[in-house]
Structure 1
Amino acid sequence: MTESNTDTADRTADGRPLPGAAAMETARRVFTESRLAMVGLLITAVVIVVAVFAPVIAPYDPTAQNIAEEQLLAPSLEHPMGTDQLGRDILSRVLYGAQLSLKVGIIAVGVAMAAGVPLGLVAGFYSGYTDELIMRGMDVVFSFPAILLAIAMVAILGQSMVNVMLAIGITYTPVFARVTRSGVLSVREETFVDAARAIGDTNRNIIVRDILPNVVAPIIVQATVSLAFAILAESALSFLGLGTPPPAPSWGRMLSDSRNFMQSAPWTAVFPGLSIMITILGFNFLGDGLRDTLDPQNDTESGGSI
C-alpha cells in the first residue's frame, strides 16, 4: 500500500515525520472526534454564512414597514417568522441581526485583545512593580459587573454602534490581560527564553518572537468564548435601549419591542430569542472544542459529547 500525498507531505526527505506534524494530527483528531466541537463549528459556520449573505438571503428589507396591512402577522409561507408590530418581516430582521451581532462581537473582542494581550505580555514578562500596577488596574475594571460597566460607558459616551463596541471591548480587556499574563508566567523561565537572553536578544524580540507564539492557544480559546458573551452583551444593551440605535435590526431590540405582544404574538420574541441562544451555544461549544484541542495535557482518547 502506498502512502498518500498527505502522509508524505508531513515527512522529511529521509522519511522522518516533520516537527509538529504528529501534534497537529493529534489536535485535528481530537477536534473532529469531539461532537460538541463539531456542532459548535457547524452553528458558527451557519451564523457566519447568514451574516455575510443576509442581503441576498433576506426576502424583504428589514426596515420596511407596512403597519396597515401586515402588522403582527402570524408565521406563513409569505412571512416564515411572521411580522412585528410595525409590519416588518421578522425573518429578514433576524438575518440582518446576525450580521450586526457578529460585527459588534468581532470588533469588540478585537478591541479587548488589542488592549489586553499587550498588557498581559508586559505584566507577565517584567513582573515586579510593572506587573502589580497593570494587574491592579485590571482588577479595578474587573471588579465591576461587565454589563453594568458597559451600560455606564454607553450612557456616558452616547448611544451608537461604535460606542457599544468600544464599551464591550473595554469590559473584556481584563480577561485577555489575565489569560495572557498567566501564559507568560508559565513560559518565561523556559530554556529557549534563557537562551534568547544569553545571546543578547532584546526584551521586545523575546516577547514577540519567543513568548507570544507559546501563549496564543489560550488567547484563541478565550476569544471564541468572549465573542459569544460580546454578542450577548450587545443584545442586553439593545434590550435596555442602550445598544445599537434603531432602525438597525438588533436581536436584543427585537426582544425589547416584543414585550407588549408576548401573549398575542409570541413569535415576535421566540425567533430573535432562539437566534441569540443558538449563536451563544455555538460559540461556546466551539470554544470548548478548541480548548480540548489546543490543551497539550488533553486526554486525546476522549471526545466531547452531547
Structure 2
Amino acid sequence: MKLEALVPGLEPLKVKDLPKFQTNDPESACNMLELMVQGTKGARAVIWNTFKDLEEHELVALGQDFPSPHFLIGPFHKYFPASSSSLLAQDQTSLSWLDQHPPKSVLYVSFGSLVRIEESQFLEIAWGLSNSKQPFLWVVRPGSIKGSEWLELLPNGFLERIVKGIGYIVKWAPQQDVLAHPAIGGFWTHNGWNSTLESICEGVPMISSPSFGDQLPISRYVSDVWKIGVKLENGFERGEIESAIRRVMVDEEGLEFRNKIANISEKVNLCLKKGGSSYSSLEDLVNYILSFP
C-alpha cells in the first residue's frame, strides 16, 4: 500500500508520516511553506529547539541545504518556569491525585491545546483506557471533542469507575510538573514537539497519536528511530489502545523504553551544563550576534 511505503531519502519515514495540514486553501498553505523555506535559507543563522545528542545526524544533513550557522540550544522549556508558557488554567489537583499512586504506575493522557477529535474517537479512547485497567490521568480540554462541551459523551458507568480510583479527568494539567512526578510511567501524546521534548527530558516513554503537521514524523522517530515508545498505527481503536498501554506500562518492552529514554534524558542534563553542547551553542550564538557591526 502506498501510504506504508518508505519515503526515499527520508527513511524511516513512510508516506503516511509526511506532514499534513488541515486547510481549505491548500495553495496558500503551500506558498506559505515555500516562503518559510526560502526565508530560512536566506537567514544569517538558524536557532533550533533541540540538542545535539538527539538530532545531530539530521542537522548535519540539513546543513547541506541550509548553509547558514545552526545553533542547537534546546530544550527551550528548561530555561523557563513550568507555568510561564501555559495557555489554559492548570488544575493542580492532578498532582495531589498522583501523590496517591506508586512510582511509574500512572499513564498521562493529553493531546495538546489544538487537537480536536470525533465523538467515535473519544469513545474508543475511553474504552481503551478503561479496558487497560491501568491508572490514568486524562486531560480532556473543553471543546476538544466535536459536538460536545466536555464529558457528556462518556459511556454510562465510566465516571463511576473513575471515582473508584482507576482514573482522573481534568480540563488542563501542569504538564511539566505532571511528567516530572514519580507516579507517571507513560505519556499518551499527540507528539507536538514541545510535549515530546518535555517527555524526553523527564524520561517518560510515549504512546503516539499524531494528528497533523510535524506530529506525524516526530511520532515515527519516537517509535522507530529513538525507540522510546509505541505509535498507534490505526488511529483510535480500543483494542490497539489497550495493547499499547500494556506494552508501555506493564510488559518487558516498557522497561526497554524507559531505559532508552532515561539515557537520553541524562544527555539533556549534560548538554545544559557548562561545557555541554547546548550551553556551548548558546554561548556561540551570543558571540555570533555580538560580532555584527
TM-score (norm 1): 0.22
Bigger Cα Rg:
1
TM-score when normalising by structure 2: 0.23
Larger relative contact order (CA 8 Å, sep ≥ 6): 1
User: Which protein is richer in helix relative to its size?
Assistant: 1
